[in-house]
Every structure is written in C-alpha cells, then in structure tokens.
Amino acid sequence: MSETLVAILGFLCIIAIVVTLFKSKTLPSIAFIVFPTILALILVVGGYYTMDDMGSLIKSGFSSTSPTAALFVFSVLYFGIMTDAGMFDVIINCLMKLVGGNVIGVTLMTAVIALIGHLDGGGASTFCIVVPAMLPVYKRLHMRPTSLLRVAVLAMGVLNLMPWAGPTMRAATVLGVEPASLWSTLIPIQIFGILLVFVVAFITGTMEVKRGAGFNGRLAEIEGEVVLDAAEQAEKSDLARPKLFWFNIFLTIAVIALLIYDIFPSYVPFMFGVAVAILVNYPGAKMQKKIINSHAGPALMMCSTLMGAAVLMGVLVKSVTVNGVEINSVITCMSNLISAGMPDILGHHLPLVIGILSVPLALAFDTDSYFYGMLPVMMGIGAGFGIDATPIAVAMVVCRNCATFISPMVPATLLGVGLADVDIKDHIKNSFLWVWGFSILCMIFAVVLGIIPL
C-alpha cells in the first residue's frame, strides 16, 4: 500500500469523525474508536502494518492520553468536593459583587483568569482553574458555556507562545535554536494577541447581552433565576463546610502551585488534593463513598472519550519501527501529501499559506505531528523557494496555537469541554470561525511588522 493511499485514507477517517460528531450520530468516544479501527483494519489488509504493529500503535496511544484521563478523574473529584463544601459559592459571590450583573465584565474576567492560569503552559491545568471558577457565574447570568470556552481557548492560545510552552519548544527544536530566541521574535505578536483577546471577550459579552443574558436580562425574565429546588437546597446545606473555607482555599492554592511548578505529573497534585480534601471535609467511609459516587458519572463519560481518543492517536499519530527502519505514521503520510500537492505559485508565499491553513489543519493534526512532522517538510519546501525557515516556523506556531484548544486531537480540549459540560461539536461550531479569524489577524499583524514576509 502506497503512502499516498494511506494519507487519503487518513483524511477520510478524520472527515468521517468530524461529520459524525457534527451530525450528533454518536458519542465522541464511539467515533474515536470505530473509524480509526476501520482504518487500522484496512491498513493491515493492505500490508502497510501488521496486527502486531497496530497493537503497538494503540498501546502507545494510550500512553499519551492516560495521564490526561487520570487528571480528569481526580480534577473532577477535587472540584466536585470543593463545590459540595461550598468554597466556590463564596468565590462566586465575591466575583458577582465585583462585576455585579455586568455580563461583559464576566467575559473580560474570564480572559484575565485564563491568561494568568495559562502562565505554566499547561492546557489541562488551565481548564481546571478557569472552568470550575467561572461556569457557575455563566449559569447564573444565563450565559452560554460555549462563550466561556471561546474566550478561554483564545487566551490560552496566546499564552501558549511562551518559551516553556510545548509548541514554541517544539518549533525551536526543529529550527535548532533556543526557545527564548524564537520567543523574542514572537513577543510583539503575543502582545497584540493579548489585546485582541480582550476585544473578543468584550464582543462576546456584548453578544450575550443582546441575546438576553444577565440578572435582569430577557432570558432571566423568560427562564427565571437559576435556583435550586428545596431538596437540592437542603442537600447542599448538609454538604456545605463554611468553617473549612480557608482550609479549602489554601489547599486549592497548594494544588495549583504544584501544577505550576511542575514537580509531579499533572494528575498527582489532584490525587493528593482529593485525598486530603475528602478526609478533612467528609470523614467517614460512608460519606466519602456518597461524595465520590455523586461525581462518578461525568468522570466516567470523559474517561471513555479519552480512552477512545487513545485509539485515534495511536492509529493516526504514532509510528512503529521495523528492523531499525521507522514506518511513516498516517499523519506523516498526510503531511507529505499536502506538501507534494502544493502548487509552485503558493510556494512563494508559503508562510501565508501555512498561516491560513493552520486552524483547519489543527482539527486533523496533533501538536507533535504538526511540528515534528509538517514543519521540517515545510521548511524544506520553503528552502526550495528561497524562504527562510524562521517565518515559516512563526506562521505555524502563531496560527496553530490559536486553534490548539479546539482540536479534538488535543486531550486537554476534551478535558475542557467535559468540565464545561459542552459537546465538542458545539465547542468547535461556536469557536472555529472566531479562532480562524483571530489567527489571521495575528498573522496580518506579523506581516505588517515584517516578521512574516509577503
């Protein structure tokens, strides 16, 4: 089986998954399992891989998603315990006093929290900070969770340009330069992007106001105030631990600090946090079992999605080595096909072409394959047209970063939509064009500054 046919089959697999999810034909976990499995069987029958190879690929896929699955389980439990204990009620009340019923203020605050939370460069940990803190506020004001995610992912994409963030480090590695050196080129674009995030947050807030969000908005009059019924209120009061508020605050700060300092794998701080929080807030095995069971549903649903994504990642992204020779992964074949089919006229404007296509390609390529697979190929093509490697890398880093957290190929995206209780198709539908436009504006700004040539 030729690599061209493998690439075509890879694109068909991605298209089938996207169409199936957008039409709500099945759950993401099922789509992530079924279509890559069909692709895998075709590749085995065609002789591209053996059954042993496929087993190795899927196993390696699990190795890349299992840490995120563990992070999701324990982060859901941790924030569930904090919610039951009433910690977020106090925080939300303070936030509401600060912004009042100002919907625009809430979206701007979302941008600030996401920018600060993503200083460590970790997408999963940022979602764990932003979504639990802001989602209850959005619900009270009848704002859409998809708006929360849109503002958050754009802010995270801009902060992802930091030299210690994954994309910048990967691109710098391929270029053979220090990440800080590449970042110095990106700083003006990053500053512009941060300002643009607040513009988008303001526009998003304005749109929410127009659709009737707010305490006194049209939706509040139609749907009524978001309140719990008497039974839920009673249960919430029984579980509340107001006397332990400051303990829970300091524990949460400690958990987040461990995430930022990156001493342990990202799921370990939440494991410690869950153990301490449940022992202090809810002593006794019976109560602890009740608390864990109450949050088991969302954790199980999201874990099944991540496990499905492991099959997708393994079949498409991972590669195997046979007799010392590495067989190109499906994603590598796809990137080679794209580069081979690029007309010469586009080659002279390669950085711009890459910048425009980066957001759509982000839906099909994970971060590693994009930078380690496509970037070297694009640099080689650019060299043939006399284009320096740095503008190509800048275009790929800046524009791809904007779309990182709408891509189903990025496990953190699945974590974010799970925490916000949003279908990934709705997240993509509501954010895709915004993210694409955002990335193009950042690219135009880079062109104006002369960082990316025309």
pLDDT at 188: 94
What is the pLDDT averaged over residues 52-77? 81
pLDDT tens column, 98-109: 776 788 999 999
Question: In this structure, are residues 174 and 376 in contact, taking their beta carbons and an 8 Å threshold?
Answer: yes
Distance (Å) of CA 274 to CA 77, 79, 108, 267 = 7, 9, 30, 11
pLDDT-derived band at 1 (thresholds 50, 70, 90) equals: confident
- Cβ atoms 103, 141 nearer than 8 A: yes
- Please compute Rg for the chain using Cα positions: 23
- Of residues 323 and 407, the one with the higher pLDDT is 407
Q: For residues 346-358, give the mean pLDDT.
A: 84
DSSP state of 371: I
Query: φ, ψ for residue 326 (rounded to 5)?
Result: -80, 130
**What sign for the dihedral angle of Cα 405, 406, 410, 412?**
positive
pLDDT in tens, 147-200: 999 999 999 999 888 877 778 877 887 787 888 888 889 999 999 999 999 999
Identify the pLDDT of residue 5: 93
Measured between alpha carbons, how far is 227 from 140 in angstroms, rounded to an integer?
8
What distance in Å separates the CA atoms of residue 231 and residue 228, rounded to the nearest whole number?
Answer: 8
Question: What one-letter code names the amino acid at 286?
Answer: K
Q: Sign of dihedral through CA atoms 202, 207, 213, 218?
A: positive
pLDDT at residue 367 in the model:
74
Residue of 304 and 271 predicted with greater confidence: 271
**Non-local CB neighbours of 35 within 8 Å, separated by 6+ positions:** 13, 16, 17, 20, 312
Q: Which of 55-69, 108-122, 134-148, 217-231 has the highest mean pLDDT?
A: 134-148
Question: What percentage of the chain exceeds 90 in pLDDT?
Answer: 26
Q: What are the backbone angles phi and psi of residue 162, rounded to the nearest 5°? A: -55, 150
Of 332 and 52, the one with more pLDDT: 52
Residue 50 token pair: 């053996």
Q: What is the DSSP string of 304-333?
A: HHHHHHHHHHHHHT--EEETTEEEPPHHHH
Q: What is the DSSP letter of 370?
A: I
Name the H helices within 212-349.
Answer: 218-223, 230-239, 245-261, 267-281, 285-294, 296-316, 330-340, 344-347
